[in-house]
Amino acid sequence: MFLLHQVHSVWGRIRFKTETSCLCSRRCLTSLFRPEQRRGAADKQVTKKGKKERSTCQLVLELFDQQYNQELGDLWASARSVLLDPRSWQYGVMLNRFTAVKDITQILQSQGFSSFLPQTDVSSLNQTGKDSLLSPHGISECPPDDSSPCYIHPHPLRFPSQAHRPGQLKQYYLLNAASLLPVLALQVKDGEKVLDLCSAPGGKALAVMQCATPELLCCNEPDPQRRDWLAKTLESFVPHSLHSKVMVSAQDGQRFQSEDVTYDKVLVDAPCSNDRSWLYSGSAQQGVQRLKERARLPVLQAQLLRSALSVVRPGGLVVYSTCTLSSSENYSVVETVLKDFPDAEPEDLWEEIAIPLSEHFVFRPSHPGYGQTSHQPSLLPQNNDVSSYPNRLGILVVPQPGRTWGPMFLSRIRRRT
Contact indicator for 10, 234 with CB cutoff of 8 Å: yes
362: which residues sit within 8 A by CB, 6+ positions away?
75, 380, 397, 398, 399, 400, 403, 406
Question: Which residue type occupies 382?
Answer: Q
Burial class (CB in 10 A: 0-12, 13-18, 19+), 283: exposed
Q: How many angstroms separate the Cα of 344 from the Cα of each of 314, 315, 318, 337, 415?
A: 9, 9, 10, 9, 4
Q: Is 323 assigned a catalytic role?
A: yes
Nearest to 212 by CA among 193, 230, 191, 190: 190
Catalytic residue among 142, 218, 219, 323: 323
Tell me how crowded residue 16 is: count the other CB atoms within 10 A of its CB.
16
Verify cis geometry, omega within 30 degrees of 0, for the bond prior to 156: no
CA-to-CA separations, 265 to 138, 196, 415, in angstroms, rounded: 19, 9, 10
Count of C-beta atoms within a 10 Å radius of residue 22: 17
Q: Which residues are catalytic?
A: 323
